[in-house]
Amino acid sequence: MSAALIDGKAVAASLRERIADDVADFAASAGRVPGLAVVLVGDDAASAVYVRNKAAACAAAGIAGHEHRLPADTSEEALLAVVLGLNADPSVDGILVQLPLPPQIDASRILAAISADKDVDGFHATNAGRLATGLPGFVPCTPLGCLHLIRSVGPDLRGAEAVVIGRSNIVGKPMAALLLGADCTVTIAHSRTRDLPEVARRADILVAAVGRPEMVRGDWVKPGAIVIDVGINRIASTPGRTKLVGDVHFAEASAVARAITPVPGGVGPMTIAMLLANTLEAARRHAGLA
Ligand SMILES: Nc1nc(=O)c2c([nH]1)NC[C@@H]1CN(c3ccc(C(=O)N[C@@H](CCC(=O)O)C(=O)O)cc3)C=[N+]21
C-alpha cells in the first residue's frame, strides 16, 4: 500500500472534543444544553446500532439526546404527529428521523414536515435548496464529513477534477454541491454512466457512494488521487462470519491512490461528528447566538 490512510475515526474524535468545548460555552451563555431528538421506527438491527452510537456521541458532547422508538407498524399520521410535537418542543434543537422508514410511511412527507431549522440531517428540500444556491442552511452530515476529510489531505481544491459516483439526495447530490462550492470541476456518475471506470479515472478526488461492495477497482483510480469511500456493506467473509467493506476495493485502490479512507473508521465516524456540529449550530441559531 502506498496511499496515506485518512483516519476518519481520529479526525472525528478531535472534532468531537472541540464540539464538546463549544457545547459547554453554549450552555454557559444560553442557560441550557442543545437537544437532539432521534426517531427510530421499527427494529432494524443496523439502524438500532446507529441510533445507539448517536446517543452515546450526544452524551459525550454534552448534548441532550431524546430517543423516540416507535413500533414497525406505526402509521404515517402517528409519525407525523411525533414530528410536529418535536417541532414545537423548545428543548429540541435538532430532529433526525432514522431512514429507511417502513413501507407504509412516505419518507418524503415526513422529511417535509420536519422544521427546516431543526433539520440537522439537511434532508429537507429547503436545506437542499439552500445548499444548491449557496445560502446558509444545514448540510447533510455524510458529505459534510467527506469534505472535512478531503480538506485534511488536500486543502486547495480549486480546479481539481472531482468525480462522485452515486446520485442520492443524502450523499451524491449534496457532495457534488459542496465540491462545486469548493471550486472543483464536478462530475456526478451513476449506474447508467457510460464507461464508468474511465470517468472515475479522471478524478483527482473520487467519492464512491453507490452501495455496491468493492465496485471501484484499482484501475478506476488515477495515480495520486484522493479516494473517499462512503459505502458500508456487510458481506460474508469466512464461513459463518461477516465483515464490513466499502464501495472501493481497498487493497487495489490503496496501491494507486495518494490518500484513501478505510471502512470502517473512515467516513462513518465523521457522519456522527457532523451531526453533533449541526445540532450545536441549530441550538445557537435558536438561541440567537449564531
Ligand atoms: N436520518 C438519517 N440520518 C443518517 O445520518 C443516517 C440514517 N438516517 N440512516 C442510516 C445511515 C447510516 N449512518 C451511519 C452513521 C455512522 C456510521 C458509523 O459510524 N460507522 C462506523 C462503524 C460501522 C459499524 O461497525 O457498523 C464506521 O464506519 O467506522 C455508519 C453509518 C447514518 N445514517
Taking residues 79-101, what's their average pLDDT? 98
Structural domain of 71: 32-121
The overall average pLDDT reported for the chain is 97
Do residues 89 and 163 share a domain? no
Of the candidates 22, 54, 118, 247, the residue annotated as catalytic is 54
How do residues 188-221 score in pLDDT, each as one tens digit? 999 999 999 999 999 999 999 999 999 999 999 9
Q: Is the CB of 181 under 6 A from ligand 1?
A: no
We report the CATH number of the domain holding residue 233 as 3.40.50.720
Q: Which atom of ligand 1 is nearest to the CA of 9?
A: 29
How do residues 139-192 score in pLDDT, each as one tens digit? 999 999 999 999 999 878 999 999 999 999 999 999 999 999 999 999 999 999
Place of cell 429547503: 126
Of the candidates 22, 98, 229, 247, the residue annotated as catalytic is 98
Is residue 2 helix, strand or coil?
Answer: coil
Q: Is the CB of 50 under 6 A from ligand 1?
A: yes
85 assigned binding-site residue:
no
Do residues 117 and 145 share a domain? no
Q: Nearest-CA neighbor of 35 among 61, 8, 74, 2?
A: 61
From CA 53, how far away is CA 282, in angstroms rounded?
Answer: 20
Q: Is the CB of 211 under 6 A from ligand 1?
A: no
Do residues 223 and 259 share a domain? yes
Determine which residue's CA is closest to atom 15 belonging to ligand 1. 268
Determine which residue's CA is closest to atom 9 belonging to ligand 1. 99
From CA 7, how far away is CA 128, in angstroms rounded?
Answer: 28
| Alpha-carbon separation of residue 115 from 97, 98, 172, 207 (angstroms) | 12, 16, 23, 30
Which residues, 6+ apart, have CB-to-CB distance to 154 below 8 Å? 160, 204, 205, 226, 259
Do residues 113 and 162 share a domain? no
Task: Give how many domains the chain has, as a whole number.
Answer: 2
**In degrees rounded to 5, what are phi and psi of residue 156?**
-95, 105
Q: Is residue 232 situated within a structural domain?
A: yes
Q: Is residue 286 situated within a structural domain?
A: no
**118 annotated active-site:** no
Where does a domain end: 89, 121, 153?
121
Of the candidates 93, 121, 229, 247, the residue annotated as catalytic is 121
Q: Which atom of ligand 1 is nearest to the CA of 267?
A: 28
From CA 82, how far away is CA 65, in angstroms rounded?
Answer: 16
Q: Is residue 182 situated within a structural domain?
A: yes
We report the CATH number of the domain holding residue 61 as 3.40.50.10860
